[in-house]
Amino acid sequence: MNMILLIILTYLIGSIPSGLWIGKLFYKTDIREHGSGNLGATNTFRILGKKAGIVVTLMDILKGTIATVLPTLAYFADSGIHPLIAGAIAVVGHMFPVFAKFRGGKAVATSAGVVLGYHWPIFIILFIAFILCLKVSKMVSFSSMFASVVAFVYAIIYTFFEQDYFLLIIITILAAFIFYRHRSNIVRIKAGTEPKVKWL
């Protein structure tokens, strides 16, 4: 019973459409009708500004972190669900949220929250990699994919020493999610038409 409850709960946590709710509550704006139409933090920054973008980013990260930590709590101790699997379910919820007609974000911030909740050093490394890449490329999409590659390489090295195969498997899946959700961005990057940030 706890297993089913945890699966439903982590999916619902991931389904919280942060960008949509912040936009509607505080800006009277549905960000799905503007910019890329995406519910993620990048489109929130673009449409609603830095303050809203930061709040949505933090909320999306926390979704992954909370979902990853839940299986470690005493109430769910007998659920049999690995923390990383719970986190991955939240990422699926973020991409296909029941509260927003299954049109969600691109999995980046919530995936980052999963690694933060499970192994915080990799979160720090990925944050630095993302910021440095963004500083050079000015492209959030490219920087997100670059960070996912860094995560994959880190997971390989970490697993070699620590035999944490779950980490390698879930990082591989999350990286695949990120690349898949950025298909249109990849096309624009190749064509040289991908939008660039101006605030960094």
144-195, pLDDT tens digit by residue? 999 999 999 999 999 999 999 999 999 999 999 999 999 999 999 999 999 9
In contact, 170 and 85? CB cutoff 8 Å = yes
Residue 187 maps to a domain: yes
pTM above 0.85, yes or no: yes
Instruction: Give percent above pLDDT 90 in the chain.
Output: 82
Residue 142: pLDDT over 70: yes
* pLDDT at res. 151: 98
Residue 122: pLDDT over 90: yes
Residue 95 maps to a domain: yes
* pLDDT at res. 192: 94
Residue 179: count of CB within 10 angstroms of its CB = 17
Residue 7 maps to a domain: yes
In contact, 89 and 10? CB cutoff 8 Å = yes
Residue 13 maps to a domain: yes
53-95, pLDDT tens digit by residue? 999 999 999 999 999 999 999 888 888 999 999 999 999 999 9
Residue 200 maps to a domain: no
Residue 56 maps to a domain: yes
Residue range of the domain that includes 29: 2-191
Number of domains forming the structure of the chain: 1
* pLDDT at res. 38: 83
12-38, pLDDT tens digit by residue? 999 999 999 999 999 999 998 887 778
Residue 158 maps to a domain: yes
Residue 109 maps to a domain: yes
Q: Mean pLDDT across the chain, nearest whole number?
A: 94
* pLDDT at res. 36: 79
CA of 49: how far to CAs of 55, 62, 100, 105, 164, in Å?
Answer: 10, 20, 21, 17, 39
* pLDDT at res. 77: 82
